[in-house]
C-alpha cells in the first residue's frame, strides 16, 4: 500500500519535470526570464527552469556588456523576419506570440514603454506603361512606438530614401537616435551634431 501511495505521489512530479540540457549559453535574467541558446537557436526559461519559449531562429540578440543574447524588456522581445532578402523587425510577448508584426527596418528594445524604430513608407509615384508596372519610392523615418506598435512621435523630419532591394540594402539601416533618460531622446542631425527632444 505504501509503495502504491509513493508511486501515485511521484507521478505528477515526474510528468511535469523538465530538464534543460546541452545548451550552449544561458544569459542573466531580464524581466524574470533568461535566454538559452542551443545551436543557432534561442529560447527562454523562467526562474523555475521551465522552457517558456521554445527554441527559434528569429530572436534578435542584444549586445549587453561582453555578451550578446535576446532579452525581454517591457514584456517584449525583438524578432526579425526576412522577406526578399530584407530584414523586418517586430516583437513577441512572453508566450512567444507575435504582438507587433515584423514591419520595421530596425528597432530597439523597449524602455519605459517606448522603443525607437525605422518606419518604412512606400510611395506610389505612378505607372510605367512601357514596362506595365507601378513606379514606387521607398523611404523611412525614425519613430517612437509604444508596446502595441503604434507610432507616438516622429524623430526625423525629413524622410531617408532607400532602394528596397537586397543588392542595395545589404546591411540593416542604423538607428541614429538614442534614449538618454526616461523622457529625453538625443537625435543625430545631418551635420553630425545632436538635438535633444522631450518625448511624451
> Which residues make beta-bridge pairs with 42?
37, 56
pLDDT for position 110: 94
Residue 175 contacts residue 184 (beta carbons within 8 Å): no
pLDDT tens, N- to C-terminus, the chain (200 residues) = 454 444 444 444 443 445 677 899 999 998 899 999 999 999 999 999 999 999 999 999 999 888 999 999 999 999 999 999 999 999 999 999 999 999 999 999 999 899 999 999 988 766 665 665 676 889 999 999 999 999 999 998 889 999 888 888 888 999 999 999 888 899 888 777 898 988 77
34 contacts: CB under 8 Å, gap ≥ 6: 26, 27, 28, 44, 45
User: Of 1, 67, 82, 58, which is closest to residue 30 (Cα–Cα)?
Assistant: 67
Q: In this structure, how many other beta carbons lie within 10 angstroms of the beta carbon of residue 105? A: 22
Residue 34 contacts residue 54 (beta carbons within 8 Å): no
pLDDT for position 99: 98
pLDDT for position 166: 84
Q: In this structure, how many other beta carbons lie within 10 angstroms of the beta carbon of residue 153? A: 14
Q: Which long-range contacts (CB under 8 A, 24 or more apart) does 191-199 make?
A: 197/153, 197/155, 199/114, 199/144, 199/152, 199/153
User: Of 172, 199, 192, which is closest to residue 81 (Cα–Cα)?
Assistant: 172
pLDDT for position 4: 45
pLDDT for position 128: 62
Amino acid at each position: 500500500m505504501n509503495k502504491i501511495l509513493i508511486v501515485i505521489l511521484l507521478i505528477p512530479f515526474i510528468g511535469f519535470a523538465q530538464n534543460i540540457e546541452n545548451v550552449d549559453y544561458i544569459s542573466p535574467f531580464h524581466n524574470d526570464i533568461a535566454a538559452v541558446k542551443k545551436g543557432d537557436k534561442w529560447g527562454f526559461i523562467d526562474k523555475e527552469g521551465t522552457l517558456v519559449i521554445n527554441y527559434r531562429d528569429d530572436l534578435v540578440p542584444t549586445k549587453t556588456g561582453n555578451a550578446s543574447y535576446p532579452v525581454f524588456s517591457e514584456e517584449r522581445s525583438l524578432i526579425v523576419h526576412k522577406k526578399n532578402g530584407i530584414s523586418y523587425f517586430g516583437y513577441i510577448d512572453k508566450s512567444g506570440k507575435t504582438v507587433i508584426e515584423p514591419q520595421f527596418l530596425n528597432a530597439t528594445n523597449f524602455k519605459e514603454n517606448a522603443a525607437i524604430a525605422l518606419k518604412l513608407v512606400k510611395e506610389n509615384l505612378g505607372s510605367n506603361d512601357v514596362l506595365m508596372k507601378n513606379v514606387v519610392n521607398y523611404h523611412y523615418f525614425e519613430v517612437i512606438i509604444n508596446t502595441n506598435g503604434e507610432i507616438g512621435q516622429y524623430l526625423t523630419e525629413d524622410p531617408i530614401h532607400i532602394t528596397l532591394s537586397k543588392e542595395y540594402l545589404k546591411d540593416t539601416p542604423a538607428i541614429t537616435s538614442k534614449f538618454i533618460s526616461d523622457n529625453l531622446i538625443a537625435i543625430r542631425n545631418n551635420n553630425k551634431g545632436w538635438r535633444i527632444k522631450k518625448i511624451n
